[in-house]
């Protein structure tokens, strides 16, 4: 038999109400709509879906960034996971996975341990799957002001994802 919640237990009444349903971290996702343009740096503590335009830097290293079909990005993106359905001009640094969907267009370099290019995706740049993005940044910033030795042709081939 159903029993009405007692007044001394308000949490029972609130638990059934959809307005008071707790939102889990996985469901939290900020959205930048298709009519929005942002110039500057973006950072935050939740997943992000971009349908609009962003110019600058996107820094969400602990979260997922999705560029929707209407998204136009001129920025470097640092994220845990990146999914591209729109257009990106910039370098992409993902700690876990990067996916370029068939509608996606990327012009820039990719650093990620797992990369997926769907049939029909457009990509121009290089892919580095050997090291994590944090390691890539550290090695490129270790010797500021000093010239780096030229890479051998074998290193250049490996950088393109071709195994010798």
Exposed, middle or buried, 38 (CB in 10 Å: 0-12/13-18/19+)? middle
Closest by CA to 82, choosing from 104, 100, 103, is 100
- Report pLDDT for 137: 53
Among 6, 5, 47, 4, which residue's Cα sits nearest to residue 23? 47
Paired tokens of 51: 């349908």
pLDDT of residue 83: 98
Closest to 110 in 3D by CA, of 86, 85, 83? 83
Note the pLDDT tens digit of each residue in 23-66.
334 457 899 999 999 999 999 999 999 999 999 999 999 999 99
Q: How far apart are CA 92 and CA 77, in angstroms?
A: 5
Asked which of 46-50, 100-104, 139-143, 159-163 is least confident by mean pLDDT, the reply is 139-143
Most confident of 1-5, 9-13, 121-125: 121-125
Name the least confident of 13-17, 110-114, 116-120.
Answer: 13-17
Residue linked to tokens 């335009």: 53
Question: 60 and 41 in contact (C-beta within 8 Å)?
Answer: no
Helix, coil or strand: residue 92:
strand
Give the DSSP H or E segment for 84. strand 72-84
Q: What is the mean pLDDT of residues 15-24?
A: 40
What are the CB-based long-range contacts (under 8 Å, 24+) for 103-106?
Answer: 103/69, 104/67
Query: Containing H/E element for 139?
Result: helix 133-141
pLDDT at 135 (0 to 100): 52
Q: What per-residue confidence (pLDDT) applies to 104? A: 98
Q: State whether the Cα torsion 70-29-75-132 is positive or negative.
A: negative
Phi, psi of 143 (to 5 degrees): -120, 70
Q: What is the pLDDT of residue 118?
A: 97
- Closest by CA to 88, choosing from 58, 62, 60, 132, is 58
């Amino acid at each position: 038999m159903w029993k009405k919640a007692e007044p001394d237990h308000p949490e029972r009444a609130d638990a059934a109400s959809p307005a008071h349903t707790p939102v889990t971290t996985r469901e939290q996702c900020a959205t930048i709509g298709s009519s929005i343009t942002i110039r500057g740096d973006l950072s935050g503590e939740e997943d992000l879906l971009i349908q609009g335009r962003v110019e600058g830097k996107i820094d969400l290293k602990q979260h997922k960034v999705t560029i929707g079909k209407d998204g136009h990005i001129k920025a470097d993106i640092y994220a845990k996971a990146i999914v591209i359905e729109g257009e990106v001009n910039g370098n992409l640094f993902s700690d876990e996975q990067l996916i370029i969907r068939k509608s996606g267009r990327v012009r820039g370099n990719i650093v990620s341990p797992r990369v997926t290019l769907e049939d029909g995706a457009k990509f121009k740049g290089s892919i580095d799957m050997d090291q994590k993005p944090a390691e890539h940044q550290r090695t490129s910033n270790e010797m500021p002001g000093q010239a780096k030795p030229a890479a051998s042709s074998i290193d250049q081939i490996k950088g393109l994802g071709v195994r010798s």
